[in-house]
Amino acid sequence: MSGVLLSMRRVMSLFIKELLATLKDPANRVILIAPVILQSALFGYAATLNLDDVPYAVLDQSAGRTSANIRARLDGSGVFRLTEVLGGTSGIADSIDSGSALLVVHFGPDFEDAVSSGRDAPIQVITDGRNSMTAGIALGYLGRVLSGMAEDRNSVGRRIKLEVRAWYNPDLITRWNFMPSMIATLSMIQVLILAGLSVAREREQGTFDQLLVTPLSPLEILVGKALPPMLIGMAQSSIVLAVCALWFRIPMSGSLSTLCAVLGIFMLSCVGMGLSISAVSESMQQVMVYSFVLIMPMVLLSGITTPLRNMPEALQILTYANPLRFGVECVRRVYLEGAGISDVAANFIPMAAVVAITMPLAAWLFRNRGA
């Protein structure tokens, strides 16, 4: 019995020692508490499939009472928000491509006549199939609004039929939306970690100080550390691209060179973040912890699975510092829509801003921490 008590005392002593060692380190206390609070808040606000804001455009060629009534119901639903009244069919493409409208509601010239004569009255709805999940939810909301009309007394709602067309994803297949996003996301995870480990590994091995006293300048060290993760990231993106195109048969509409340009600037921003993490980390373990703490919010705030427009305004502003948001948007547009460089050039600016901040920061940290 005394031997069991002695063993329990030794285990308890070791337990207390390890617990105190973990809690006494200020960095550990931050890692243990801050990520839990941050990720709980992000999941609560960002990880939702509900849509509180559905921007839509309308093309009303009938100009009748019924179409006006439907528009009034949409605007009064608290979910749909009219962004543009189109003057012709040529404006539909601009509204969808620019992202100003998630869907376009088109009332044909004979819509009011069809309603008045008791015939089926079709309403054409054009949705943005690049985000099939969000488009499907918006269509469900639209169907509920029209169902409410059908339940009203003396309503014409029963004669109204929806004719849905999903651009860039005709069947609203979720895989078409999700898999192209993985071209950027999966490579981002690997690039961030590899870039972060590059310096931390040398610190643990004691070779980083030797590297700093070589004729290499901090800029040259930065470039030498950045190129391997970028090359590996591009190779991984190529593998995911091949899986999308050859295995899942998701047709690629855009140019391969445009996609490479998009991935290049995106990888560079990820490398900059990884090297900055590495420069402030004392060990590879810290790099892994910091990376995973950063990766989770980046994925949640990228719009891969949940709509960005449904997030609180503060989080929407925060997403401008997230290169994954713009990388995913560029890849989706190039892959599914066939967008060119000029179409996605505006998304390069936030990613380039991340590069312009993180790369000099990493170089400064290398120089000053090594001094």
**What are the extents of the domains in the chain?**
54-167, 174-370
Beta bridge partners of 358: none
- Please give the average per-residue pLDDT across 150-166, as a whole number: 64
Beta bridge partners of 167: 128
- Model confidence at 266: pLDDT above 90: yes
Whole-angstrom Cα distance, residue 287 to residue 297? 16
- Model confidence at 352: pLDDT above 90: yes
The CATH code of domain 54-167 reads: 3.40.1710.10
**What was the pLDDT predicted at 153?**
43
Tokens found for residue 302: 């990228």
The whole model's pTM is what? 0.74
Say what percent of the chain tops pLDDT 90: 13
- Model confidence at 219: pLDDT above 80: no
DSSP assignment of 285-343: HHHHHHHHHHHHHHHHTTTSSS-GGGS-HHHHHHGGG-HHHHHHHHHHIIIII---HHH
Q: Is 276 in contact with 361 (CB distance < 8 Å)? A: yes
Nearest to 270 by CA among 343, 354, 144, 172: 354
Sheet holding 121-128, edge to edge: 80-85, 54-60, 103-107, 121-128, 160-167
Choose the weakest-confidence range: 62-76, 94-108, 154-168, 321-335.
154-168
- Please give the average per-residue pLDDT across 238-250, as a whole number: 89
Choose the weakest-confidence range: 19-28, 52-61, 91-100, 113-122.
19-28
